[in-house]
Amino acid sequence: MPKYEKLKEGIKKTNKLTEEEKTNSVKKIEEWIKEDRAFGLIYDELVEYNIAFKEMFKDLGLV
């Protein structure tokens, strides 16, 4: 099981958060997962378009 799935399960089971906090936390994790995947796709597509993007991302500290 991926770490983020374990985290989501832990959030759902805890009694330290309200139901609203649990729901909001899981939504945030899911958004971050989508954003991370989207960023990876952007990187892959731009590097495929022009290898110069690889160095640019590196210079910007994005990879």
Model confidence, pTM: 0.67
pLDDT for the residue 1 = 67
- Asked if residue 63 is part of any domain, the answer here is yes
Question: How many separate domains does the chain show?
Answer: 1
pLDDT for the residue 33 = 87
- Asked if residue 60 is part of any domain, the answer here is yes
- Asked if residue 11 is part of any domain, the answer here is no
- Asked if residue 41 is part of any domain, the answer here is yes
Q: At residue 2, what are phi and psi to the nearest 5 degrees? A: -60, 155
- Asked if residue 20 is part of any domain, the answer here is no
Would you say the C-alpha torsion 17, 20, 23, 29 has a positive or negative sign?
Answer: negative
- Asked if residue 17 is part of any domain, the answer here is no
- Asked if residue 32 is part of any domain, the answer here is yes
Spell out the per-residue pLDDT of the chain, length 63, in tens: 678 889 999 999 999 999 999 999 999 989 988 888 888 888 999 999 899 999 988 999 888
- Asked if residue 7 is part of any domain, the answer here is no
Which residue range(s) make up the domain with 33? 27-63
